[in-house]
A and B are shown apart, each in its own frame.
Chain A
């Protein structure tokens, strides 16, 4: 029966990093997919049960080094300098362009479950002292899928960055297009990519950080358009899903297929960066783009 068992994912509450013991009493009331009130979690990588304390602030399994998926709010805390993040468009929420049955309810349920209004948080912050626009996707909201809201918020983030001559850093994680929004979700790929082009034409920096998983329409649009593309180790990155490919070509795929390491090998990722070094690397990249290399006349 194990064949039919869904993969177990452990969700981690964003607010209780490092302060497990101190804050335990307070965060019981938090909504969203909180860690069950216990001392242990099961690693989604090796399957071993490990002490919650041991996975640490960066959410890494002490047994196998597997990275737990983390919520966008937690990621913002890891990357943005303290108290500098100002969120854009936090209230934006999706309508139902296809009148897909029950979509409004699905969105409502997801909002209550995750504490998010859709699958991305966008805003402005400082990273290592450098001003930057920052967008972070969240895979707990309908698999980080891109519909109208994700498309619009990221487009606006690029437009804001272009207007204010700022770099932009995006952490991607997505299953692809939001099926319930049909063709409208497909069009978001074109909309965002066009905004990336405008920002790029203004001579500004765009850094993508691919996190687990980054697939489908997000891969086939802004995820692959960064001037610099970073990835967390072992991240799943691809266009088509593994199962779809296996069905198409009728053969089993190798284990390392579509990992960050595989993409690095094939020339589609600039650098794999461990989670605990990510902020430092981003800071150094921002430093190297400020000021420009050589202010020659063009």
Chain B
């Protein structure tokens, strides 16, 4: 098995399959919707409706680019408050029409900037946590690359949280962690090992529910391999989730996060 800092490199590869790659492969008839109805359309978030086999679903993703140009347009997958609000709008729409929600997460973190603060980045993330915890449709969130801090969590309060084998999910980037705790960003490799950020570590910690296998060396080496596994896992999971009574489902979602934390009294 690769070590954590190798996985960080794979997770950040520009060739790593993006949210739209998975959306186009797994779903049919995807229609993309735009805007948060308040400020503007954040291109770091894609979302809309599609069929998953015969079932209408809402799909949302944090989109990174495969080229520098595309990345600039997508703001490198760094979401602004209006992006989180767009995602929330689509989730509330899903709730209205009883559509399950599937979210693909790939971000180094929520965007840090003047506009983001002016428009309430903290409020936007908080609101998503609050609303997702009680959304009355099944939600599956999948971390497909980077799951950077609150920016990722804002779309990951789900009934099932999965990670691709070579993706990461963390409170902060290993560079940031090393810089805050050791005042030395160059110790990021060491930080990556200590932080428990890989899919396997987080599965063992009980933070995520499933690890999705990738082709040797990463999903970019054989996209169909990973995407097909993911599709079949989604099929079997929705078999279970869609049969669940919705009150029970929401209560289980509450309990899933409720038990996280390690303390003694």
Q: Which residues does A use to contact B, with CB under 8 Å?
A: 89, 91-98, 100-101, 147-149, 151-152, 155, 177, 179-191, 193-198, 200-201, 216-217, 219-225, 238-240, 244-245, 248-249, 253, 257-258, 266-268
> Are B261 and A187 touching (Cβ within 8 A)?
yes
> Are B260 and A184 touching (Cβ within 8 A)?
yes
A195 CA to B157 CA, complexed, in Å: 13
* Binary contact readout B94-122 vs A (1 if CB under 8 angstroms, 0 otherwise): 00000000000000001111101111111
Which residues from B are CB-within-8-Å of A201? 134
> Are B195 and A91 touching (Cβ within 8 A)?
no
A–B pairs, 16, beta carbons within 8 Å: A95-B263, A98-B194, A155-B258, A182-B196, A183-B196, A184-B205, A187-B257, A189-B126, A194-B253, A197-B130, A197-B134, A216-B150, A217-B171, A220-B121, A225-B127, A238-B122
A286 CA to B62 CA, complexed, in Å: 41
> Are A188 and B260 touching (Cβ within 8 A)?
yes
> Are A197 and B133 touching (Cβ within 8 A)?
yes
**A103 smallest CB distance to B (angstroms):** 10
A180 CA to B197 CA, complexed, in Å: 13
> Are A97 and B121 touching (Cβ within 8 A)?
no
Query: Are A193 and B263 also in contact (CB < 8 A) when A220-B150, A238-B122 are?
Result: no
Given A93, A101, A189, A268, which contacts B129 in the complex, CB threshold below 8 Å? Answer: A189
Contact residues of B between 173 and 221, Cβ < 8 Å to A: 177, 180-181, 194-197, 202, 205, 207
Query: Are A245 and B117 also in contact (CB < 8 A) when A179-B172, A196-B130, A239-B110 are?
Result: yes
Given B133, B202, B261, which contacts A151 in the complex, CB threshold below 8 Å? Answer: B261
> Are A194 and B257 touching (Cβ within 8 A)?
yes
Number of B positions contacting A (CB below 8 A):
51
Which residues from A are CB-within-8-Å of B63? none
Given B112, B121, B265, which contacts A89 in the complex, CB threshold below 8 Å? Answer: B265
Given B117, B134, B180, B207, which contacts A187 in the complex, CB threshold below 8 Å? Answer: B207
Query: Are A249 and B113 also in contact (CB < 8 A) when A179-B172, A186-B153 are?
Result: yes
> Are A193 and B126 touching (Cβ within 8 A)?
yes
> Are B261 and A194 touching (Cβ within 8 A)?
no
A95 CA to B205 CA, complexed, in Å: 14
Which residues from B are CB-within-8-Å of A194? 129-130, 133-134, 157, 253-254, 257-258
Query: Is B169 in the interface zone, CB < 8 Å from A?
Result: yes
Query: Is B69 in the interface zone, CB < 8 Å from A?
Result: no
A97 CA to B265 CA, complexed, in Å: 16
Which residues from A are CB-within-8-Å of B150? 186, 189, 216-217, 220-221, 239
> Are B149 and A186 touching (Cβ within 8 A)?
yes
Which residues from B are CB-within-8-Å of A223? 122, 126
Which residues from B are CB-within-8-Å of A193? 126, 129-130, 133, 157
Task: Beyond A193-B126, A193-B157, list 8 extra A-B contacts (CB 8 Å).
Answer: A184-B207, A184-B260, A186-B153, A198-B134, A220-B110, A224-B127, A248-B112, A257-B117
